[in-house]
Structure 1
Amino acid sequence: MFRQCTKLFVSTLFILNIAGCGNSVDSQISQGLSDADTIFNAKPKSSTASTEHLQFYLPQGYKVKNSSDETNVILSKGKRTYSIFYNPDESKKSQHFYKALQSSEKEEIVKEKTYEKNGRFGFATVLKKDKESYEVIASTGGVKVTGNVETEDMNNIIPELMTIANSVQLKKK
């Protein structure tokens, strides 16, 4: 009898642990999207990094890896790589990146949130890539920052990418 109760108890703990992990990812995503909303609505942070054509803020741990041209920048943080895409032909209210995502990858979207303020449009989206990997996209107008992340970093990465996207500016000549 004791053995059966022990097995039942262990099985119950296992099931609760699995269920808790599922909620954890969802709550991390929700928290990250909420934080991204706050960042989108805040004043952009001052630039701490630049390339030949762009200037932007980089949160702690991020580094510019390379810049292939005036519209693409590769960033790194630890072993992970992130990309900044800048379209100088798009305005701050542009929904180009959002509409393209909706038409091409709608099925992979786990959760998303759009933001609008003072004639500006932005969004943050989490896409499922495989069992443990997600793609996070943060965008404001003609700027999109994207990267693949693991579940444990979700609530930090989403607002960090929005902070970067919110700060990207074309350098003045």
Structure 2
Amino acid sequence: MPRKGLLVLLIAAAVGLSGCVASAEEQVANGVAQAAKAFEAEPRNTNETSENTDFYLPGGYTVEEPSDEYNIIITKGSDSFVLFVNPNEAGDSTLFYDLQKADPERKWVVDETFEQNGRFGFVTVRQVAENLFEVVASAGGAKLTTISEKKKIDSNMEWMMKTVRSINPKEEEQE
């Protein structure tokens, strides 16, 4: 009898926990809220440099070689991210957003913009496969993009916005 009781308890726990798994919509909503907080917060201190770009990168992430001055490849485990930097764009630039919106064939499940103190940023998400989503976070002249599993959408959005907000292009040396 105790085994049957344990089995019933395990099944009940499994059913109860299955309701705790966040849906894609919940993951995205949480990610947007976290990205908005990161956009509105003071930029993180930079801790990484690639060519002429200083930026914040959380622990566990690696800048891959070859990266160049304007296209930086970042990895963590099997996840890859591409950071695009356009030093000619100011903090209020909508260039990356306008480029994304130029393709009417792309259907974004999330399309959120942020404006604060003369700065512009956005996050977008679109489903590319059953459990995979293209996630983009941008602030001014910096954009970070990845293909994310559903369960990582919110955490990716948060650190990606922190990173693009931290971008501080170095001045080109004049000769």
Q: What TM-score comes out, normalization by structure 2 length?
A: 0.83
Between the two proteins, the alignment pairs up a number of residues equal to 158
**In the alignment, which residue of structure 2 is the partner of 1:55?**
54
Query: How far is the alpha carbon of 1:55 from its aligned partner?
Result: 0.7
- Identity over the aligned pairs, expressed in percent? 33
SS for the counterpart of 1:113 is strand
Distance (whole Å) between structure 2 residues aligned to residue 94 and residue 132 of structure 1: 32
2:3 maps to which residue?
Answer: none
Moved beyond 2 Å, runs of 4+: 66-69, 105-108
Q: How far apart, CA to CA, are the structure 1 residues paired with 2:128 and 2:27?
A: 17
User: Are residues 105 and 160 of structure 1, via their aligned partners in 2, closer, same or farther at CA, if it must alter by over 3 Å?
Assistant: farther
Looking at structure 2, the residues matched to 92 and 155 of structure 1 have their Cα atoms a distance apart, in angstroms, of 24
Is 1:92 the counterpart of 2:108? The answer is no
The alpha-carbon deviation at position 168 of structure 1 amounts to 1.2
Distance apart, 1:20 and its partner CA: 8.1
TM-score of the superposition, structure 1-length normalised?
0.84
Amino acid in the other structure paired with 1:103: A
Q: Which amino acid aligns with 1:167?
A: S
Give distance in 1, aligned partners of 2:162 and 2:105.
24
C-alpha RMSD of the superposition: 2.1
Give 1:105 deviation, angstroms: 5.4
Find the residue that maps to 1:152 and give its secondary structure.
helix
Using the TM superposition, name which of 92-101 and 107-116 deviates more. Answer: 107-116
Whichever structure has more helix as a proportion of its residues is: 1
Shifted more, 97-106 versus 56-65: the winner is 97-106
Q: Any idea what SS the aligned residue of 2:129 has?
A: coil
1:160 counterpart SS class: helix
Whether the 8 Å contact between 2:86 and 2:141 is mirrored in structure 1 is yes
5+ residue gaps, structure 1: 1-13
- 2:119 & 2:32 partners in 1: Cα distance? 17
Structure 2, unaligned stretches of length 5 or more? 1-14
Give the whole-Å Cα distance in 2 for the aligned partners of 1:143 and 1:66.
19
What pairs up with 1:13-162 in 2 under 5 angstroms?
Answer: 24-104=23-103, 107-162=106-161
Cα pair 2:120 2:140 within 8 Å, conserved = yes
Name the aligned partner's letter for residue 155 of structure 1: D
State the alpha-carbon separation in 1 of the partners of residues 83 and 168 from structure 2: 11
Q: Secondary structure at the match of 2:88?
A: coil
Q: Given that residues 50 and 68 in structure 2 are in contact (C-alpha distance below 8 angstroms), is that contact kept between their aligned partners in structure 1?
A: no
CA contact (8 A) 1:127 1:136 kept: yes
